[in-house]
A and B are shown apart, each in its own frame.
Chain A
Amino acid sequence: MHPVLKTVLQRLGLGLLTLFAVSIIIFSSLQMLPGGYAQNILGQGATPETVKNFNHELGLDRPAYVRYVEWIGNAVQGDFGNSYSGTTGTIKRSVSGIIGPRLYNTFFLASMAAIVAVPLSLLLGVLAALYRNSWYDRIVNSLTLTTIAMPEFFIAYLLMFFFAVKHRWFYTLSTVSESTPFWEHVSRASLPALTMTLVIIAHMMRMTRASIINLLASPYIEMAQLKGVSKSQVIIRHALPNAWAPIATVIAFNLAYLVVGVVVVEVVFVYPGVGQMMVDAVSSRDMPVVQACALIFAATYITLNLLADIVSIVTNPRLLHPK
């Protein structure tokens, strides 16, 4: 088998294995509670009878492995069971039904931020690396360091305070629904997207700058200069073909960061996404929803890192052209 294919398959296998391990961690978090989940929810005063009923109602009285197989089997098909909240009545709300539209909203928001942030920060980061120690580089260094150090909600409220309250350029709250037209959705989501863009740009620029500087310090870059290769050719012919792997890593890392960043930003702007839903579910201890969200976030995270590794593998000349 070609080494590239072999390495890619190995990496895919490892990704699946990680996902499996993560699903077990997420699933078993519920078992870790001393006294059980039911006792904890119902309080110390609950009679064994009520606990038993509660457990039976939620199916918690069956062996853990049976429930795991059932849970993960359904999850793969997009079915995460029913929400606990609302189970008291006769109407059961399916987790997938709640998550579906919110997942679209979150994806919408993250894409808005990524479309602006990724190319911009790559460009600015490469420039900072090429003109390192210039005034541009120094200013950018201090600015990004400051931005990185700030909590997302601070940036969010600052933007809201100045651009939505003092100057009414944007909506303060990003309430959207399924019937919201596309461009109105864009406009309502623009302030949260801007917040995330700022955060991502800061992280990503610094990482891009560091990896490009690292690349330019390679002896073969000096060799290319000493061969009389022009500045632009040094970058295009000698640096770029070796830059895909580090750049892919930077992009994946930051998109993964975006996944976490949405939680806080969605809450600030009351944007109906998965993050906000997860926080609500945590407060009401609605475990099926919490676990579904955690699994979705973790899977996204793992997939992004997997993609970056695959880019590194397929652009590695040592693997592409084996001995």
Chain B
Amino acid sequence: MANETKRVKGDVLLEIRGLKIEGQSDDQWKPIIKGLDLSLKRGEVLGLIGESGAGKSTLGLAGMGYARPGCRISAGSINFDGIDLIAATEDVKRGLWGSRIAYVAQSAAASFNPAHHLIDQTVETAVNHNIMPRDKAEADARDLYKRLQLPNPDTIGERFPHQVSGGQLQRAMTAMAMSCRPDLIIFDEPTTALDVTTQVEVLAAMRNIVDQFNTAAIYITHDLAVVAQMAHRIMVLRYGNLVEEAPTRAMLKQPTQEYTKSLWAVRKLQKPESSSDDIILSINAVDATYGGGTAKVLDNVSVKIPRGRTVAVVGESGSGKSTLARAVTGLLPPSKGEILFNGTALPAALANRQRDTLRRIQMIYQSADTALNPRQKVRDIIGRPLEFYLGLKGADRDRKVVELLESIELDESYIDRFPSEMSGGQKQRISIARALAAEPEVIICDEVTSALDQIVQEEILSLLMKLQKDTNVTYIFITHDIATVRAIADEIVVMHRGKVVQQGLKSKVLNPPYPAYTELLLSSVPEMDPDWLTNLLKKRKVTV
């Protein structure tokens, strides 16, 4: 490309000083970014990392001089290659956007216009800004599709967004961002919505193309392992403030701030595995279908759950892992096979189960926001199973609620709170207490930590382990997160497309030899090593 030569690595491309951004809520302006500096050189990739509410997306968009509706830039300066983006008129910014600064959004499916062909959307900016004539832009787009390893690069542009998969769309959006060879691309959580096995391909394609054109980029994510593959330098944000900033390798090796260190926390947690032959729940050759249809969501699934242990069920979306939970609870009666609980067959449908059977199998959900009735106080949320199963009433019931609150490390003042008056982690604790109140033998944990921030995840996991030690409860732990599995499981069940790929002790499943799918799944999980992706790609190229 002709204009590639003018890119010189070394001089500053984007310079943000003292930036403050406010967001409107309840007719008041509240700070989102509380005075941040950021500087980015040509060709450099900067990772912005932080948990939800850290302001990382807002900061990324500010790099384009854009504030979402309901947000305003209240102080500071944004300078892009000598252009003051705060003072710049809409027309000036519009001239930059797409051509010199491009944006890649999280949800490709929602961010592509459903009414136009992919290629028309890819070349739109190049043609509109008179950077290239249409035929040249289209030829270039096909070239980009090829470089991003999209299948059928010559014809895929003629497709509509809904006709290609999520991972392909995300790459097509990268092609769209790259179409004018911008100086800077903002990647806003581009792989968060993807499955891990898809994520690898997309990450590789994006990194490759940014390298090829020596484009500067801001890569926004909440996943430290992902950003480690992509970025030269990392900024850790929290509540709109900078926590720490360092080159990637230095930060991974030696984080200086407590908060940054805590982001590793869940990886540190390690539970030694232990086996058991005392089977509490035995799932035998179970099939399940939705809506009486013919498509099996569970296909001949057999799993044995040992008492007092944690069995992690892992798989990607559509693997049937949550359906397995629904079959065990009776919400989705199996179309074939049986489930033995303490040696006797469980009635397939929920309605046919005894109250005491229901009591013994409890469930904790992914999102406490939807699992706790927003109109009930903690007293009633935890108190109801006590009353319902154990017949406790009045003061006895309240006393037991307080005891349970203490066991989940919350004090008794929480008894009169509504869910909306607690943080995410506290709400998840209440969900745990509600399950415990029934004095169950088995608790099914459905992605219980995936909606929580890293630091809170670790607290919840430690609490669950402590409770297991105290009560000898059995956990069926459904998750897609291998790091969590590594931390807490005794046994692991790997599922793929409704089938069990593998079941066994953690040490066995997580170590070679692997069945092919387990290998693909495990190797696709990003690791906290900046060379992980490079090595993986090398290895896969060799093996393929």
Interface residues of A (CB under 8 A from B): 218-220, 222-231, 233, 237-238, 241-242, 317-318, 321, 323
Q: Is the CB of A228 within 8 A of B129?
A: yes
B326 to chain A, nearest CB (A): 28
B414 within 8 A of partner (CB): no
In the complex, per-residue mask of B80-115: 1 if CB is within 8 Å of any chain A CB, else 0: 000000000010011111110011010100111111
Q: Which 6 A-B pairs have the closest CB atoms?
A: A228-B98, A228-B97, A241-B115, A227-B98, A219-B110, A223-B111
Q: Is the CB of A318 within 8 A of B94?
A: no
Q: A226-B97, A323-B162 are in contact. Are A241 and B105 (CB under 8 A)?
A: no
B188 to chain A, nearest CB (A): 10
Instruction: Give A291 to B393 CA distance when docked, in angstroms.
Output: 61
Partner of A220, one of B64, B93, B96, B113: B113
A129 to chain B, nearest CB (A): 13
B160 within 8 A of partner (CB): yes
A226 to chain B, nearest CB (A): 4
In the complex, per-residue mask of B125-160: 1 if CB is within 8 Å of any chain A CB, else 0: 100110000000000000000000000000000011
B256 within 8 A of partner (CB): no
Q: Is the CB of A226 within 8 A of B64?
A: yes
Partner of B95, one of A225, A228, A321: A228
B163 within 8 A of partner (CB): yes
B66 within 8 A of partner (CB): yes
Interface residues of B (CB under 8 A from A): 64, 66, 68, 90, 93-99, 102-103, 105, 107, 110-116, 124-125, 128-129, 159-160, 162-163, 176
Q: Which residues of B contact A233 (CB under 8 A)?
A: 128
A98 to chain B, nearest CB (A): 48
A220-B112, A229-B98, A237-B124 known; 15 other A-B pairs, CB under 8 Å? A219-B105, A223-B105, A224-B113, A225-B97, A226-B98, A227-B97, A227-B103, A227-B125, A228-B98, A229-B94, A229-B128, A241-B116, A242-B113, A318-B114, A321-B159
Q: Is the CB of B103 within 8 A of A317?
A: no
Q: Which residues of B contact A317 (CB under 8 A)?
A: 114-115, 160, 162
Instruction: Give A222 to B111 CA distance when docked, in angstroms.
Output: 8
Q: Is the CB of B103 within 8 A of A220?
A: no
A50 to chain B, nearest CB (A): 58
Q: Is the CB of A228 within 8 A of B128?
A: yes
Q: Which residues of B contact A321 (CB under 8 A)?
A: 159-160, 162-163
Instruction: Identify 30 residue pairs between A and B in the complex whose beta-carbon atoms are under 8 Å apart, listed by A's number.
Output: A219-B105, A219-B111, A220-B111, A220-B113, A222-B68, A222-B111, A223-B105, A223-B112, A224-B113, A225-B97, A226-B103, A227-B98, A228-B125, A229-B98, A229-B125, A230-B94, A230-B128, A231-B90, A233-B128, A237-B124, A241-B115, A242-B113, A242-B115, A317-B115, A317-B160, A317-B162, A318-B114, A321-B163, A323-B162, A323-B163
Q: Is the CB of B129 within 8 A of A220?
A: no
Q: Which residues of B contact A218 (CB under 8 A)?
A: 110
Q: Which residues of A contact B114 (CB under 8 A)?
A: 220, 242, 317-318
Q: Which of A223, A229, A233 has the most CB of B within 10 A?
A: A223
Closest to B173 in A: A223
Q: Is the CB of B115 within 8 A of A318?
A: no
B169 to chain A, nearest CB (A): 12
Q: Which residues of A contact B163 (CB under 8 A)?
A: 321, 323
Q: Which residues of A contact B124 (CB under 8 A)?
A: 227, 229, 237
Q: A223-B105, A226-B64, A226-B103 are in contact. Are A318 and B162 (CB under 8 A)?
A: yes
Q: Which residues of B contact A229 (CB under 8 A)?
A: 94, 98, 124-125, 128
Q: Is the CB of B110 within 8 A of A220?
A: yes
Q: Which of B96, B105, B115 has the most CB of A within 10 A?
A: B115
Instruction: Give A321 to B159 CA distance when docked, in angstroms.
Output: 8
Instruction: Give A225 to B160 CA distance when docked, in angstroms.
Output: 20
A237 to chain B, nearest CB (A): 8
Instruction: Give A32 to B112 CA distance when docked, in angstroms.
Output: 55
Instruction: Give A230 to B99 CA distance when docked, in angstroms.
Output: 13
Instruction: Give A318 to B109 CA distance when docked, in angstroms.
Output: 12
Q: Which residues of A contact B93 (CB under 8 A)?
A: 228
Q: Which residues of B contact A220 (CB under 8 A)?
A: 110-114
Q: A219-B110, A317-B160 are in contact. Are A228 and B115 (CB under 8 A)?
A: no
Q: Which residues of A contact B176 (CB under 8 A)?
A: 227
Q: Is the CB of A238 within 8 A of B113?
A: yes
